[in-house]
C-alpha cells in the first residue's frame, strides 16, 4: 500500500492522456460557466448566475427543448380533433404553502405563469380487485394511522443520529406488516409508499423516505396539486428561462449531446459528440442519477472513488404512466383515483387516475395507470400491444358488468431506456447516510453537481432540483466575484462542497443546515 500514491498518480496521467480533442472542423468555444442540462436545476443555476450579473454562460441541452423530466407529449384528440397534451414526467406541485409560512417555489411559479392545476383529493378513491368494486378503504385508514407513528419515529432516529433501517422495518415497528397473500393490504401499501418513492419499503430508507415527505409537506403544506395545463407543466421552466434568455439566445445549445467532461482545479472542458467543445471556468452537471450511472458520459480523469461510490449507492427509479383514451367515460365520472389489488402480483397496474374527473379535463375520456420499479421495467421492455392487452384485462376485471370498448388512443413512455434520463427520479436506499449523500452532491475540482437527487431535504422532488440549481449558481457566482465572505443568507456555505473520504456509521447533523435557515435537526425538534 505504500506505493498507492504512485499508482494513483499514474492513473490520473493515463486518464488525462485519454481526453479527446475537438476535431479540426469543429469549434471549441470559451465561457465562464457551462451548465449541463436544461431541466429545472439547470435553468435555476443559469437564472442565479444571471441574477448575480454573470451573463457569460452556456446551457448545453440534449433535447430540442428545455424542461428535462418535466415533459409532456400529445395524446388522443379533443372533440374538435385537436390533440391533448399529457404529462409523461413530473405532474404535481407537491406541498404548496401556508399563510404566514414558506411557499414552495414551484407553487410560486405555477401561479406566476398561470399554469392550470387542480387539488388532488386522495380521499376521492374507489377500491377494486379481480371481482370488481370491493370496499377495502378501511385498510387505507389503518395504514395512515400507523404511518403517522412511523413518521414520528423516523424523525427521532434522524435527530438522534441513530442507525437507519428499511422502511419495511420502520413500518413493521409501527404495526404495519401486511401478509404476502393479503393483496388488498399490498395494494394499499403500494399506493401509500411505492407510488411516491418508485421502490418498495423493503428497498427504501425509512429515515430519509419519511424525512423527504415531512420536510416538504410539513414545511409548505400537505396539499398536492395536479397539473393539467395544455401548454405543459414545463411552462414554468420556459417562463423562468424567458426572464434571462432571449429568443434564439446563442447561450442555449439545444440538440447537444455531451460525450466527455474533462475537469481540473483550473477549469472544465465539455466535449460534444459532434466533435465540438466548450471550455469553462466552472461547470454545473445536472445530469440525472440514471445518466451518471449509465456511464454514457465519460469523465477525464475518472471521478474519484468516493464520488463513484456515492453515485452507485443511490437508486434511480422508473415511474411509467400508461395512457388510454376512450370514446366515453365508462368509469365513475366524479372519482379521481381507482386502486386495483391484483390477486397474484403486487404492483400490477394498481393506481388508476381519471383526467375526466371534474376540475381536470372532463371531456377528455382519458384514464391512465401507473407502474414503477420491476413492473415498469417489464412493461417498458414489451410491446404496446402486449401492455394494452394486459391493461384492458385489468379494466374488465374492475368493471365486469360493463362492456368496455377498445381505447381510441394508447401510449406510454419508456423512461428506463430514454438516453437523456435513464429513469424518472431518484430513491434513497436504506442505511445510506447524509455523509454518503454529501459525497454525491460534492463538487470535484471545478465540476459541480445539482438536481433533484443532490437535495437531501427535498430528495426526488422538483422543488429540490430548483433549490439545488439555485444554490450551485449562487455559490459559483460568489466564487467568481470573490465574495464568499458576504454570501446570501439563503446559501448554506460558500466554496467547495464538503466530501468525506472516510464514512462513519451515522451522519453528523449539527452543521447540516437546509435553505432559508432550516436545519434537519431543528425541524424535527419543532415539529
CA distances from 58 to 220, 268, 308, 472 (A): 33, 13, 26, 15
Strands of the 92-94 sheet, one edge to the other? 92-94, 224-227, 117-119
Residues in contact with 427: Cβ distance below 8 Å, sequence separation at least 6, in sequence order:
197, 198, 199, 203, 204, 314, 315, 316, 317, 460
d(CA 322, CA 390): 11
CA distance between the termini of the chain: 49
DSSP result, 147-203: HHHHHHHHHHHHHTTPPP-BHHHHHHHTT----TT-HHHHHHHIIIIIHHHSS-GGG
Ligand-binding site membership of 369 (annotated): no
H or E element in which residue 35 lies = strand 28-36
DSSP result, 428-486: --TT--HHHHHHHHS-BTTEEE-SGGG-STTTTSHHHHHHHHHHHHHHHHHHHTT-GGG
Among residues 200, 182, 203, the alpha carbon closest in space to that of 190 is found at: 200
Cell representation of residue 305: 472513488
Contact 232, 85 (CB under 8 A): yes
d(CA 23, CA 297): 18
Cell representation of residue 377: 421495467
Contact 217, 527 (CB under 8 A): no
CA distances from 272 to 28, 51, 257 (A): 10, 28, 5
d(CA 33, CA 446): 10
Residues in contact with 10: Cβ distance below 8 Å, sequence separation at least 6, in sequence order:
none
Place of cell 398561470: 114
Among residues 367, 112, 119, the alpha carbon closest in space to that of 227 is found at: 119
d(CA 409, CA 505): 51
Residues in contact with 99: Cβ distance below 8 Å, sequence separation at least 6, in sequence order:
none
Q: What is the DSSP letter of 304?
A: P
Binding positions: 258
Binding positions for FAD: 258
Amino acid at each position: 500500500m505504500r506505493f498507492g500514491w504512485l499508482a494513483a498518480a499514474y492513473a490520473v496521467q493515463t486518464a488525462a492522456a485519454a481526453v479527446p480533442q475537438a476535431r479540426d472542423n469543429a469549434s471549441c468555444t470559451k465561457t465562464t460557466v457551462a451548465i449541463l442540462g436544461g431541466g429545472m436545476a439547470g435553468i435555476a443555476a443559469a437564472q442565479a448566475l444571471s441574477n448575480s450579473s454573470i451573463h457569460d454562460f452556456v446551457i448545453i441541452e440534449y433535447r430540442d427543448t428545455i424542461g428535462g423530466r418535466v415533459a409532456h407529449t400529445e395524446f388522443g384528440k379533443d372533440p374538435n380533433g385537436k390533440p391533448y397534451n399529457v404529462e409523461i414526467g413530473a405532474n404535481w406541485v407537491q406541498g404548496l404553502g401556508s399563510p404566514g409560512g414558506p411557499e414552495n417555489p414551484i407553487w410560486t411559479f405555477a401561479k406566476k405563469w398561470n399554469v392550470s392545476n387542480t387539488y388532488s383529493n386522495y380521499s376521492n378513491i374507489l377500491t377494486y380487485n379481480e371481482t370488481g368494486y370491493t370496499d377495502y378503504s378501511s385498510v387505507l385508514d389503518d395504514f395512515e394511522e400507523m404511518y403517522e407513528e412511523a413518521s414520528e419515529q423516523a424523525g427521532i432516529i434522524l435527530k438522534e443520529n441513530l442507525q437507519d433501517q428499511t422502511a419495511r422495518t420502520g413500518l413493521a415497528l409501527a404495526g404495519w406488516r401486511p401478509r404476502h397473500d393479503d393483496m388488498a393490504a399490498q395494494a394499499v401499501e403500494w399506493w401509500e409508499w411505492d407510488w411516491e418513492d418508485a421502490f418498495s419499503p423493503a428497498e427504501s430508507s425509512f429515515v430519509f423516505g419519511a424525512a423527504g415527505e415531512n420536510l416538504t409537506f410539513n414545511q409548505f403544506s400537505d396539499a398536492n396539486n395536479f397539473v393539467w395545463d395544455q401548454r405543459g407543466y414545463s411552462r414554468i421552466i420556459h417562463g423562468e428561462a424567458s426572464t434571462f434568455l432571449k429568443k434564439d439566445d446563442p447561450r442555449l445549445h439545444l440538440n447537444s449531446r455531451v460525450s466527455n467532461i474533462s475537469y481540473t482545479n483550473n477549469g472544465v472542458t465539455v466535449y460534444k459528440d459532434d466533435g465540438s467543445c466548450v471550455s469553462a471556468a466552472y461547470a454545473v452537471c445536472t445530469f440525472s442519477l440514471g445518466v451518471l450511472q449509465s456511464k454514457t458520459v465519460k469523465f477525464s480523469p475518472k471521478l474519484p472513488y468516493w464520488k463513484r461510490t456515492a453515485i452507485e449507492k443511490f437508486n434511480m427509479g422508473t415511474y411509467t404512466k400508461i395512457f388510454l383514451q376512450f370514446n366515453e367515460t365508462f368509469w365513475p365520472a366524479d372519482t379521481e383515483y381507482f386502486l386495483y389489488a391484483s390477486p397474484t402480483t403486487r404492483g400490477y397496474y394498481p393506481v388508476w387516475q381519471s383526467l375526466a374527473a371534474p376540475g381536470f379535463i372532463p371531456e377528455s375520456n382519458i384514464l391512465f395507470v401507473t407502474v414503477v420499479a420491476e413492473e415498469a421495467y417489464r412493461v417498458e421492455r414489451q410491446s404496446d400491444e402486449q401492455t394494452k392487452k394486459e391493461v384492458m384485462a385489468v379494466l374488465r376485471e374492475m368493471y365486469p358488468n360493463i362492456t368496455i370498448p377498445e381505447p381510441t388512443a394508447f401510449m406510454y413512455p419508456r423512461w428506463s431506456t430514454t438516453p437523456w434520463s435513464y429513469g424518472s427520479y431518484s430513491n434513497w436506499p436504506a442505511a445510506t447516510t447524509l455523509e454518503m449523500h454529501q459525497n454525491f452532491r460534492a463538487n470535484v475540482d471545478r465540476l459541480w453537481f445539482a438536481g433533484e437527487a443532490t437535495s437531501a431535504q427535498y430528495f426526488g422532488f422538483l422543488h429540490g432540483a430548483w433549490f439545488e440549481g439555485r444554490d450551485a449558481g449562487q455559490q459559483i457566482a460568489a466564487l467568481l466575484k470573490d465574495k464568499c465572505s458576504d454570501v446570501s443568507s439563503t446559501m448554506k456555505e460558500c466554496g467547495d462542497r464538503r466530501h468525506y473520504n472516510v464514512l462513519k456509521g451515522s451522519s453528523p447533523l449539527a452543521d447540516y443546515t437546509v435553505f432559508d435557515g432550516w436545519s434537519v435537526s431543528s425541524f424535527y425538534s419543532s415539529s
